[in-house]
Amino acid sequence: KIMEQWWKKSVVYQIYVRSFQDSNHDGIGDINGITSRLDYLEKLGVDVLWLTPIYESPNDDNGYDISDYRNILDEYGTMEDFDRLLLEAHQRGIKIVMDLVFNHTSDKHKWFIESQSSKDNPYRDYYIWKDPKDGDVPSNWTSCFQGSAWQYDEATQQYYLHLFSKKQPDLNWQNPKVREECFDIMNYWVDKGVDGFRLDVINLISKDEDKYYTDSDIKGHQVCANGPHIHDYLQEMNQQVLSRKPLLTVGETPAVTIEDGIKFAPLDGRELSMIFQFEMMNVDGAEVNKWTDQRFELLDLKRIMTRWQVGLYQKAWNSLFWNNHDQPRCVSRFGDVSTPFYHEKSAKMLAICLHMMQGTPYIYQGEELGMTNVPFESLEDYRDIESFNSYKQLVEIEKTVKHEDMLRYLRKSSRDNARTPMQWDETIHAGFSDQEPWIMVNPNYLTLNASAQLSDPNSIFYTYQKLIQLRKDYDIITDGKYQLIMEDDPHIYAYKRISDHQELIIYCNFSSQELDYDCSYIHDDAKILISNYDDCAHKLRAYESLVFIQNI
């Protein structure tokens, strides 16, 4: 029996806990900070909060290195604080989704400490240990954060695998005990009353036993994507945990095809509720090398988005997003921040373009205000391990990139662009904290902040609020069939959503030029459902976005 798929009509809001709201004057966001901002989130109208990891962690990768899955990191508060947040969110009809990282743990997790202690320790097989090959690494696989994916351990003279930092050793999911432990952890949180899970790089958990000693041209985490037993493991997870109640499960799945996606998130509920895939995040070269000046081409974006919209239709469920805590800010990347006017129009245009598609939209904190990339000046302004390691590798070790160029690439693509504090108001540190925050505040907070936008009925915030409401009011946004129109236009992204009696026609101008557009699709009785200008003209103006609704 297919359980109620409530997430199809939901909008998720991602909270980067460290940067959302500090409540106890240490410059670090925390759980009570989130609770204190629930009114704001309720006003925006989001249905679900995804919290980035709040468990005990040495923070080598800001919580994506977990050392205890059943305890809250001190900096973030206590379990009582979490219980209160869950209760107060539920009282407002807001659900909470936890971020679980099961591909790897922290090297400070007790399993790894045991595992590392000797070859015959019962926990040895919880991780992936391999003998050297000719006195060297088993294979040339690289870690996602630069350098080899293999780390040598002097004491036991073997290498362990880490697809991310060396403080994030990969778990061995082939070991049934590992799977049991992970499912127990999930059940612990389900028993607490959480509403679902975001599963970090979940499609990397099944490694191919035969490949460990085989060199590869692609990055280590891509070699391990969608391995031989991945669907067995997820179906087992489904039986052990997910079938207990209608939970939202979103699998973060880099390097998946549409065919893979259909297996991970089929509508019959056999595995996960939806996937979070990144193909459109590679339009500016990110997959090959994110450290470039390359900008995206709209035609590529349209082609990729369209393939997923069409490919999953009535087969599987996708998520919709322009950015998250690992990506630069979308208005800087896909919009235009060169003038305040373009900033506002393009931020709204991006929102409309995405929220009219099929799938569950994800809003990353501050996106609803049009928060932008950050004018970081020097390396010292950064906090992210990926940024530091990449600088070190490319500028200092390989010497293939010059210092000045790397600083420019970091300003464009560093994950820290998304991680600066939420801009609440124009007071000191943007109202995030009264102490120096753990990472700098974007200086544009004086004009770009929540308080200013809440008092301006024309702000980006209210466009998001309206889009969230429209999804609740119009089933066609959830169910309608997608069809690309004006296919070859390099500046306009236009598409239809079609149901039995109605259709939506969406036009988005991704340029600052005034452009002709094909209005032959619009009937006389069509109405404007939402737009980012006050009226409607014969041309599409700079970053204009127009949505028509009509009966058919």
User: Smallest distance from the beta carbon of 341 to ligand TEU, in angstroms?
Assistant: 31
Residues 6+ apart with CB under 8 A from 368: 44, 351, 460, 461, 464, 465
Q: Which does 416 bind (CB under 5 to 8 A by kind): ligand TEU, Ca ion, none?
A: none
By CB under 6 A, is residue 200 in contact with ligand TEU? yes
User: Smallest distance from the beta carbon of 265 to Ca ion, in angstroms?
Assistant: 35
Two tokens at 260? Answer: 């893979």
User: Smallest distance from the beta carbon of 28 to ligand TEU, in angstroms?
Assistant: 17
User: Smallest distance from the beta carbon of 63 to Ca ion, in angstroms?
Assistant: 14
Looking from the CA of 484 toward its CB, the CA atoms found within 13 Å total: 18
Q: Which does 260 bind (CB under 5 to 8 A by kind): Ca ion, ligand TEU, none?
A: none
> Residues 22, 75, 252, 284: which is the catalytic one?
252
Q: How many residues bind ligand TEU (CB under 6 A)?
A: 13
Tell me the C-alpha distance between 19 and 56, whole Å.
Answer: 17
Per CB under 6 A, contacts with ligand TEU among 108-147 are 144
Q: What's 169's DSSP letter?
A: P
User: End-to-end alpha-carbon separation of the chain, Å?
Assistant: 34
User: Smallest distance from the beta carbon of 144 to ligand TEU, in angstroms?
Assistant: 6
Using DSSP's 3-state secondary structure scheme, residue 548 falls into strand
Adjacent-strand bridge partners of 502: 551
Tell me the C-alpha distance between 391 and 379, whole Å.
Answer: 9
Q: How many residues bind Ca ion (CB under 5 A)?
A: 5
Could you tell me which of 16, 21, 26, 14 has the C-alpha nearest to residue 75? 26
Are 372 and 333 spatial neighbours (Cβ–Cβ below 8 Å)? Answer: no
By CB under 6 A, is residue 164 in contact with ligand TEU? yes
Query: What DSSP assignment string belongs to 257-293?
Result: -HHHHHHHSBTT-SS-SEEE--GGGGTTSTTT-SSS-
Per CB under 6 A, contacts with ligand TEU among 415-454 are 415
Nearer of residues 199 and 371 to ligand TEU, judged by Cβ? 199
Nearer of residues 60 and 271 to ligand TEU, judged by Cβ? 60
Are 442 and 369 spatial neighbours (Cβ–Cβ below 8 Å)? Answer: no
Site string for Ca ion, 16-55 (x = CB under 5 A): ------x-x-x-x-x-------------------------
Per CB under 6 A, contacts with ligand TEU among 44-103 are 61, 64, 101
Per CB under 6 A, contacts with ligand TEU among 317-336 are 325-326
By CB under 6 A, is residue 275 in contact with ligand TEU? no
Known catalytic residue at 252: yes
Q: Which does 101 bind (CB under 5 to 8 A by kind): ligand TEU, Ca ion, none?
A: ligand TEU
By CB under 6 A, is residue 201 in contact with ligand TEU? yes
> Residues 22, 107, 170, 200: which is the catalytic one?
200
CA angle 292/296/299 to nearest 5° reads 155
Nearer of residues 57 and 509 to ligand TEU, judged by Cβ? 57
Q: Which does 61 bind (CB under 5 to 8 A by kind): Ca ion, ligand TEU, none?
A: ligand TEU
Tell me the C-alpha distance between 351 and 547, whole Å.
Answer: 12
Two tokens at 97? Answer: 């989704």
Nearer of residues 64 and 482 to ligand TEU, judged by Cβ? 64
By CB under 5 A, is residue 489 in contact with Ca ion? no
User: Smallest distance from the beta carbon of 49 to ligand TEU, in angstroms?
Assistant: 16
**In 418-525, alpha helices (H):** 450-454, 460-473, 475-479
Tell me the C-alpha distance between 552 and 500, whole Å.
Answer: 8
Known catalytic residue at 200: yes
b/e map 28-49, b = 16+ CB within 10 Å: bbbbbbbbbbbebbeebbbbbb
Contact residues toward ligand TEU (CB under 6 A) are 61, 64, 101, 144, 164, 200-201, 252, 254, 325-326, 386, 415
Cite the active site residues.
200, 252
Contact residues toward Ca ion (CB under 5 A) are 22, 24, 26, 28, 30
